[in-house]
Homo-oligomer: A and B are copies of this chain.
């Protein structure tokens, strides 16, 4: 149990995930995790997708004061379409402070980039722009390598799934990635000022991704703790992290997170803009919002949630709802629109926002500010009115070759989930869908990671590209470290269940390897192949703590007298010793000629007793009878 340090002296969680080692694959040295199985098993190692960055590599030197290496910097500069320029000056209000004194809060990140990059005048540095021009970028090559986990072993597998019209390839080529990005069916969110990020794709023809949210603490004097929220999330599988901080220190906290994050970081810029006007939504202006976009663009935020679909005419549609407007960004914009009785400046200035996005390659995450906050409000007029506007905006962003994904609900009963996916595909031209859950019932606060995990698995199967996690504390309080882990693992299993159901060729390899380990009582392999080896082992040890119980071929779960898995092994041994196929075995059953069958039975019965009908102690896998 000792190989997972809680936090090291550097303040963030490091060390390999139990039972696995980091490997680097291909010309871009794409990081993956390899799980080695018991030598006696004859099983090859299992490669799994790895979001954890250098933190799980014992050979990496982690120094959060220095940040991660700039993996993509040469690629970005090599394209010759960017220029460095003097960054916007950081102001006290960027950190929610009245004066220049930062002593009360988070220290500044050392060596902040003073000259960030942006596209040269007239240039467009988005991956979509390159893709449409037929250029395969290193980012696309990286994504292809990364998505191919397990596919080299595909020959073993018959493709089996229902993909609802997706186009999942047998093997992912860089050209496939390029084509998906060019069509707008996938995005690679990676701001040119976040060169530390490892490229990843969000799209329904790739593995389903998950996002974890983090926020600053009320008293954030310890930057390592703020960074560790991100590190902890990606350790367990978060593909992207959204920084939803509000209040003080948000500029500096974001800088620490970005410089140390190997995954794309998303934000909701309206939150910070609102801070800058003292929390008075009516006082928001386009100029303040625009300034905030530039501020965050220069820091390297990879995608922005922009609630540009909350249009003035839709707001009254929410008045009859049970839970009105539950999106914070949506409600801010609703308030602004009502106060001024004007159309949203996000909608009116959309093309200007897009100009900024393309200069840094920031992806849109078009926010669903009018999503339903309860089962009662699911799939209503306001929700779909906004969705169709998001579809209109998607096309406008695509005209400027800017990458887009679309945010989705929320709270939706199971029978209304599929309609969300279908309408999104129709309205938004197959731009990736990014949903929160959805929660399939409202009656289980404290368990909303599960009420929403059900909806997330289903909508992921139907085609959602990324699932925003929900923790057990949803609706009740702020998640702690354990809650974040539970949320991430729950969403990872939901995403994986979706991949399996879609027939993703890289998915089933891991289930089958774990099932073989389970069947053969390779306990350590079973733990190591699981999404959370620590918890699996801990639960096992609560019943059978002895070290021997992990290597012995039995367990405590069945009584002392029988074990279904052992009996199955006897069935197999028996079949093997008989050296006959199931067909001929079948022929000797009572369904065949009675006399013949009787003779066969007596003979087989004798053989079975001779080949050893002794049972071992215990069993594995209770499963109700």
Looking at A320, A472, A586, which has the most chain B CB atoms within 10 Å of its CB? A586
Do B601 and A468 have beta carbons less than 8 Å apart?
Answer: no
Q: Which residue of B lies closest to A343 (CB)?
A: B590
Does A51 interact with chain B (Cβ within 8 Å)?
no
Encoded as 1 (CB less than 8 Å from any B CB) or 0, chain A from 301 to 337 comes to 0000101000011011111111111111111101100
Do B535 and A446 have beta carbons less than 8 Å apart?
Answer: yes
Q: Which bucket holds chain A's interface residue count?
A: 35 or more
Task: Quote the shortest CB–CB distance from A165 to chain B (angstroms).
Answer: 13
B residues less than 8 Å from A510 (CB atoms): 443
Do B475 and A414 have beta carbons less than 8 Å apart?
Answer: no
Can you list 11 contacts pairing A with B, beta carbon distance less than 8 Å?
A242-B625, A244-B625, A246-B561, A315-B571, A316-B582, A328-B558, A329-B625, A331-B564, A413-B500, A440-B501, A447-B532
Q: Which residue of B lies closest to A333 (CB)?
A: B567
B residues less than 8 Å from A574 (CB atoms): 338
Does A503 interact with chain B (Cβ within 8 Å)?
yes
Residues of A440-483 at the interface with B, using a CB-CB cut-off of 8 Å, are 440-447, 449-451, 453-454, 457-458, 461, 468, 472-478, 480
Does A373 interact with chain B (Cβ within 8 Å)?
yes
Does A621 interact with chain B (Cβ within 8 Å)?
yes
Q: Which residue of B lies closest to A306 (CB)?
A: B625
Do A340 and B605 have beta carbons less than 8 Å apart?
Answer: yes
Encoded as 1 (CB less than 8 Å from any B CB) or 0, chain A from 265 to 280 comes to 0001001001100111
- Partner among B320, B340, B567 whose Cβ is within 8 Å of the Cβ of A325: B567
Does A349 interact with chain B (Cβ within 8 Å)?
no
Q: Given A536-B476, A621-B475: A322 and B493 within 8 A (CB)?
A: no
Residues of A154-182 at the interface with B, using a CB-CB cut-off of 8 Å, are 161-162
A123 and B564 CA atoms in complex are apart in Å by 39
Encoded as 1 (CB less than 8 Å from any B CB) or 0, chain A from 549 to 589 comes to 00000011111111111011111101100000010011011
A410 and B328 CA atoms in complex are apart in Å by 41
Q: Which residue of B lies closest to A583 (CB)?
A: B316
Task: Quote the shortest CB–CB distance from A126 to chain B (angstroms).
Answer: 22
B residues less than 8 Å from A407 (CB atoms): 625
B residues less than 8 Å from A623 (CB atoms): 326-328, 373, 410, 436, 474
The segment out of A223-231, A251-259, A513-521 that lies at the interface is A513-521
Q: Which residue of B lies closest to A372 (CB)?
A: B515
Q: Which residue of B lies closest to A410 (CB)?
A: B623
A571 and B608 CA atoms in complex are apart in Å by 77
A276 and B574 CA atoms in complex are apart in Å by 26
Do B341 and A608 have beta carbons less than 8 Å apart?
Answer: yes
The segment out of A17-25, A61-69, A75-83, A612-620 that lies at the interface is A612-620
Does A29 interact with chain B (Cβ within 8 Å)?
no
A367 and B540 CA atoms in complex are apart in Å by 27
B residues less than 8 Å from A133 (CB atoms): none
Task: Quote the shortest CB–CB distance from A289 to chain B (angstroms).
Answer: 15
Task: Quote the shortest CB–CB distance from A157 to chain B (angstroms).
Answer: 10
A339 and B607 CA atoms in complex are apart in Å by 9
B residues less than 8 Å from A297 (CB atoms): none
Q: Which residue of B lies closest to A461 (CB)?
A: B414
Does A542 interact with chain B (Cβ within 8 Å)?
yes
Residues of A511-550 at the interface with B, using a CB-CB cut-off of 8 Å, are 511-512, 514-516, 518-519, 526-527, 529-532, 535-536, 538-544
Does A148 interact with chain B (Cβ within 8 Å)?
no
Do A560 and B247 have beta carbons less than 8 Å apart?
Answer: yes
B residues less than 8 Å from A446 (CB atoms): 530, 532, 535-536, 538-539
Q: Given A324-B569, A442-B515: A454 and B451 within 8 A (CB)?
A: no
- Partner among B280, B415, B591 whose Cβ is within 8 Å of the Cβ of A313: B591
Does A120 interact with chain B (Cβ within 8 Å)?
no
Q: Which residue of B lies closest to A592 (CB)?
A: B313
Do A339 and B444 have beta carbons less than 8 Å apart?
Answer: no
Do A604 and B338 have beta carbons less than 8 Å apart?
Answer: yes
Encoded as 1 (CB less than 8 Å from any B CB) or 0, chain A from 215 to 244 comes to 000000000000000000000000000101
Q: Which residue of B lies closest to A48 (CB)?
A: B443
Q: Given A512-B374, A613-B282: A324 and B565 within 8 A (CB)?
A: yes
